[in-house]
Amino acid sequence: MSKIMEIKDLNFQYGTTTIFHHFHLSLEEGSYISIAGNNRSGKTTLIKLIGGLLPSKDTITINYSYVDSNRIKDHTKDLGIVFGNLSTPFLFEDVYKEMAFPLENLNYSIEEIEHRILEVAHLFKINKLLEKKTSDLTNAEKQILLLAIAILHYPKILLLDHPFSMMDSKTKQFIKKVLKDYQKKNHTTILLTTTNLEDTLDTDYLYILNQGKIVVEGKPLVVLKEDTLLNRLGFSLPFMVDLSYKLEFYELLKETELDMDRMVNTLWK
């Protein structure tokens, strides 16, 4: 596997507030990586830096070429970025136009555009939204649309900044599965940020970011074993992980079980 993105010795500050100091991170191609951190830990800033929306002074490379705001055009095709914060996400009134716009910019033909929009709409089950106005969508629908738009041009890297925050858990489960299947099938590299550790469970590798520094990293379930540290940093364990660890502590369960049906079946055979 090759490194698709690499950050070497990144330093970044807003005014006099230092956000990153000698920061390093790299992404293997085709991996699904999550970064969990609290508000103000630097997550959104990191996504903006990698996306070339903030100057990184030649410390970040994508496919071995530097990302920096003035050279970002080279990377447009490789990147799909979603910001879960919905303050001003859309340019157009019509959902369809909104989806077509980025593809028009990349010189897709009208037929290709239509084909691709229908394909992605089918994937996320949002065909019904195509005829709607962007302003009439619910917040959860807006977030789904943002994800759909981000993958339209088959980007190599998806940068997702708390993309599920407005979805109820049923919707979230479905969208996460769509995303994971898409990622596997297309060998896409995903970097996901979140405040909610539950969102990290189906990713390959988890980094815990605190005040611009990575404090723990590893496979999600291994990192979550550090519950004392995570509690101190202000995280809550996902419900099923918490329940499972507690039941294990009382020797009611032998191993971690994340599926509630199976857990109940193990407890009462």
| Interaction residues for another protein, span 152-171 (CB under 8 A) | 162, 165-170
CB 65 within 8 A of CB 79: no
Residue from 11, 61, 236, 256 that binds another protein (CB under 8 A)?
A: 236
Residue from 86, 130, 221, 229 that binds another protein (CB under 8 A)?
A: 86
Nearer to another protein, 132 or 153 (CB): 132
Token pair for 215: 């404090």
Token pair for 42: 């630097």
Token pair for 73: 């055009």
Q: Least distance (Å) from another protein to the CB of residue 70?
A: 25
Question: Judged by CB under 8 A, does residue 242 bind another protein?
Answer: yes
Site string for another protein, 27-46 (x = CB under 8 A): ----------xxxx------
Quick one: DSSP state of residue 105? H
Nearer to another protein, 100 or 206 (CB): 206
Cα distance between residue 196 and residue 211, in whole Å: 17
CB 36 within 8 A of CB 208: yes
Which residues have C-beta within 8 Å of that of residue 52, sequence separation ≥ 6?
67, 68, 69, 71, 72, 75, 79
Question: Judged by CB under 8 A, does residue 239 bind another protein?
Answer: yes
Question: Judged by CB under 8 A, does residue 234 bind another protein?
Answer: yes
Nearer to another protein, 107 or 169 (CB): 169
Residue 259: exposure state from Cβ atoms within 10 A (0-12, 13-18, ≥19): exposed
Token pair for 74: 């080279």
Question: Judged by CB under 8 A, does residue 87 bind another protein?
Answer: yes
Give the number of residues in contact with another protein, rule: CB under 8 A: 37
Q: What is the residue type of 258?
A: L
Cα distance between residue 248 and residue 194, in whole Å: 27
Of the listed pieces 1-9, 63-71, 96-104, 229-237, which binds another protein according to CB under 8 A? 229-237
Provide the 10 A C-beta neighbour count for residue 19. 20
Question: Judged by CB under 8 A, does residue 140 bind another protein?
Answer: yes
Nearer to another protein, 229 or 247 (CB): 247
Question: Judged by CB under 8 A, does residue 255 bind another protein?
Answer: no
Binding residues for another protein, per CB under 8 A? 37-40, 84-87, 138-140, 162, 165-170, 195-196, 234-236, 239-240, 242-243, 246-247, 250, 252, 260-261, 264-265, 267-268
